[in-house]
């Protein structure tokens, strides 16, 4: 995965990628990924804001789910 270093979540995304690789190798339990995601949720509770492109993608995904005959989450 190629993530630009100026991405606002660069460090967090890099940690998540390393955790995912470690899960595949059997070095880390998948709950490590859950814990990492939980920590990111606290970032938002403390005031971090989503970028506009992310908000647009979220709305597009919701629209697809609402229009789907058999939506799956």
Query: Which of the listed ranges 16-20, 48-52, 68-72 does the model predict with the highest average pLDDT?
Result: 68-72
Query: Could you report the per-residue pLDDT of 33-49, keeping only the tens digit for each?
Result: 777 677 777 776 777 77
What's the pTM value of the predicted model, to 2 decimals?
A: 0.47
| Cβ-count burial 34-44 (b if 16+ within 10 Å, e if not) | eeeeeeeeeee
Query: Could you report the per-residue pLDDT of 4-33, keeping only the tens digit for each?
Result: 888 877 888 888 888 888 889 988 888 777
Task: Indicate the domain borders of the chain.
Answer: 10-67
- Let me know: does 36 contact 16? Beta carbons within 8 Å: yes
């Amino acid at each position: 995965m190629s993530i630009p270093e100026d991405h606002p979540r660069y460090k967090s995304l890099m940690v998540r990628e390393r955790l995912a690789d470690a899960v595949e190798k059997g070095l880390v339990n998948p709950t490590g990924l859950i814990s990492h995601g939980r920590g990111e949720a606290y970032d938002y509770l403390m005031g971090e804001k989503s970028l506009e492109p992310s908000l647009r993608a979220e709305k597009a995904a919701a629209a697809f789910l609402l229009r789907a005959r058999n939506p799956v989450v």
